[in-house]
């Protein structure tokens, strides 16, 4: 994850090979950036210089680099570290490295809506790094029923997916890995790298969680296939289009039933679980296109700078990433939202089918 200054942007970084990328970002000559490490190992000199422990209590060690960047190791979720960091000085970016098994959605949600940091910091995006050699194995590893593969979740939530160490495996293996990643996350940008070397303009200043992403999102949604099944058939990316205007109140009910109440089941009677939600919608009586964002149980509706054209029909486009998703049922529910078909809502949302 990362954040930028004035207001500062925050980027969440997860997956394999995170520290290599952080080393690269911090040693390049650029504006002042800060990194918060939340995982300790024996890999790099950066980790060794920061890996400290204080009996499980909050403990920080700050390391100032020659190019003006700052590192911090922290033994909590990073929130306190960011508060302290903001008192130390102005930085253009803040990057938070998560633990290898962390759920980036939970961390992202915390910073996305934090009231205390809201005026000074914003969530800019999520980057997940996948190892070319072991990535396919990790992504296809079967878990007991009811559990989500951690690597799959990290890919599903990412705005940028870096396939790292592509020089160490055959091109055909990289192609298979790319196909698997795309089946999990149909919206994120996939970049191939060696030693985590990447054009920083492609991974920073994403604005993935604000209205500025609406224009680029419109282009992406126009070229996405309807459903992209993963090898694990419970994980899919679903996208659909519906013409018309939605009432904001009923759109909120639609999203809340998916993310909060979890009252929607697929044709096999399995509970649908939405991990990430993104789209452009048309709200009744609003001239602007509205971007909808959702991560786990949090979501937001924000007007974009783009107005709907008078001579074109308004079209709602949604992308949902998650488990057990059924495109037909989700589309029917959204159509009911747009057309205010109360009868259809009653049929599809049943109190005795609440997912727990």
281 compared with 63, residue with greater pLDDT: 281
Q: Where does the pLDDT of residue 130 fall: very low under 50, low under 70, confident under 90, or very high at 90 and above? A: very high
Please write the tens of the pLDDT for every residue from 72-90.
Answer: 554 444 566 666 666 666 5
Distance between the two ends of the chain, CA-based, in angstroms?
30
Architecture label for domain 214-353: 2-Layer Sandwich (3.30)
Give the Cα separation of 344 and 154 in Å (integer). Answer: 34
Geometric angle at alpha carbon 236, from 211 and 248, rounded to 5°: 40
pLDDT in tens, 199-210: 888 888 888 877
Q: What number is the average pLDDT over the span 168-173?
A: 95
Assigned CATH topology for domain 2-209: Rossmann fold (3.40.50)
pLDDT digits (tens, 9 = 90+) for 179-198: 999 989 988 999 999 988 88
Q: Where in the chain is the domain with CATH 3.40.50.300?
A: 2-209
- How much is the pLDDT for 260? 87
Dihedral sign, Cα of residue 346, residue 349, residue 353, residue 356: negative
| C-alpha closest to that of 187 among 237, 245, 232 | 237
Q: Are 60 and 84 in contact (CB under 8 A)?
A: yes
Q: Summarize pLDDT for 237-279 with one digit per residue, the tens.
A: 899 999 999 889 989 989 998 888 877 888 888 889 999 999 9
* Amino acid 163: pLDDT: 96
What residues does CATH 3.30.1220.10 cover in the chain? Answer: 214-353
Q: What is the pLDDT of residues 101-124, one digit of tens each?
A: 667 887 777 666 553 445 467 788
Q: Helix, strand, coil shares of the chain as percentages rounded to 5? A: 35, 30, 40
Which residues share a beta bridge with 70? 34, 64
Task: Compute the distance between CA of residue 34 and CA of residue 37 in angstroms, rounded to an integer.
Answer: 10
């Amino acid at each position: 994850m990362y954040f930028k200054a004035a207001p500062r942007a925050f980027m969440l970084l997860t997956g394999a090979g995170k520290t290599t990328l952080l080393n690269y970002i911090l040693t390049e000559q650029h504006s002042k950036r800060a990194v918060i490490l939340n995982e300790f190992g024996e890999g790099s000199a950066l980790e060794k210089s920061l890996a400290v422990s204080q009996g499980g209590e909050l403990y920080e060690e700050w390391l100032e680099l020659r190019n003006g960047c700052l590192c911090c190791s922290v033994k909590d979720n990073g929130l306190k570290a960011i508060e302290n960091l903001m008192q130390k000085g102005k930085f253009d970016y803040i990057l938070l490295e998560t633990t290898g098994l962390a759920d980036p959605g939970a961390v992202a949600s915390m910073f996305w809506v934090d009231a205390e940091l809201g005026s000074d910091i914003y969530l800019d995006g999520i980057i997940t790094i996948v190892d070319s050699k072991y990535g396919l194995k990790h992504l296809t590893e079967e878990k007991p029923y009811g559990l989500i593969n951690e690597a799959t979740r990290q890919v599903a939530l990412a705005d940028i997916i870096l396939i790292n160490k592509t020089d160490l495996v055959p091109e055909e293996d990289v192609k298979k890995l790319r196909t698997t990643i795309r089946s999990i996350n149909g919206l994120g940008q996939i970049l191939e790298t060696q030693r985590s070397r990447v054009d920083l303009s492609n991974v920073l200043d994403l604005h993935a969680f604000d209205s500025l992403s609406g224009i680029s999102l419109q282009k992406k949604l126009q070229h996405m296939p309807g459903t992209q099944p993963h090898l694990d058939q419970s994980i899919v990316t679903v996208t659909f289009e519906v013409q018309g205007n939605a009432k904001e109140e009923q759109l909120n009910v639609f999203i809340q039933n998916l993310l909060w109440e979890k009252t929607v089941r697929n044709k096999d009677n399995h509970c649908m679980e939405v991990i990430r939600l993104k789209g452009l919608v048309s709200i009744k009586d609003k001239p602007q296109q509205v971007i909808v964002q959702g991560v786990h149980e949090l979501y937001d509706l924000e007007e974009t700078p783009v107005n709907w054209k008078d001579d074109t029909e308004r079209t709602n486009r949604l992308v949902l990433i998650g488990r057990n998703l059924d495109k037909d049922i989700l589309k029917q529910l959204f159509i009911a939202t747009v057309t205010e078909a109360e009868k259809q809502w009653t049929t599809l949302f049943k109190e005795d089918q609440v997912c727990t």
